[in-house]
Amino acid sequence: MPAPPIPELGLAEAWEENRDLRRAAVKRGGLLDWGPNPKKNGVPSLETLSYNSQAIQAAIDLWCPSHSTAKTLPKDVVKAEVGDLGKLVYC
């Protein structure tokens, strides 16, 4: 049985429309900034979260209004949106 389709939030478009975020993503070759210490690449923490506040805020702005109770963003949805951003930015 095929997997259900992944819903789109519009995150890729929100990220792409943010000039500062788009410029930084193109410069570093990816959406997220892990800071100056290479040992922290891919390690989530409050410090690395602070480097990505614009990307996180866009997700919050789109996700929270559509949910009346606390609910985590599904990682498959976010991964699909990051892939969509790559198509928008690097085309």
Give the mean model confidence (pLDDT) for residues 7-24: 85
Quickly list DSSP for the chain. -PPPPPPP-SHHHHHHH-HHHHHHHHHHTSS----S-GGGTT---HHHHHHTHHHHHHHHHHHGGG-SS--PPPHHHHHHHHHHHHHHH--
Q: 20-78: per-residue pLDDT in tens?
A: 998 998 898 888 899 999 998 889 899 999 999 999 998 888 888 888 888 888 888 88
Domain extent listing, the chain: 11-89
Q: Give the residue with greater pLDDT, 3 vs 45.
A: 45
What pLDDT shows up at residue 50? Answer: 93
Categorize the per-residue pLDDT at 6 as very low, low, confident or very high, splitting at 50, 70 and 90: low
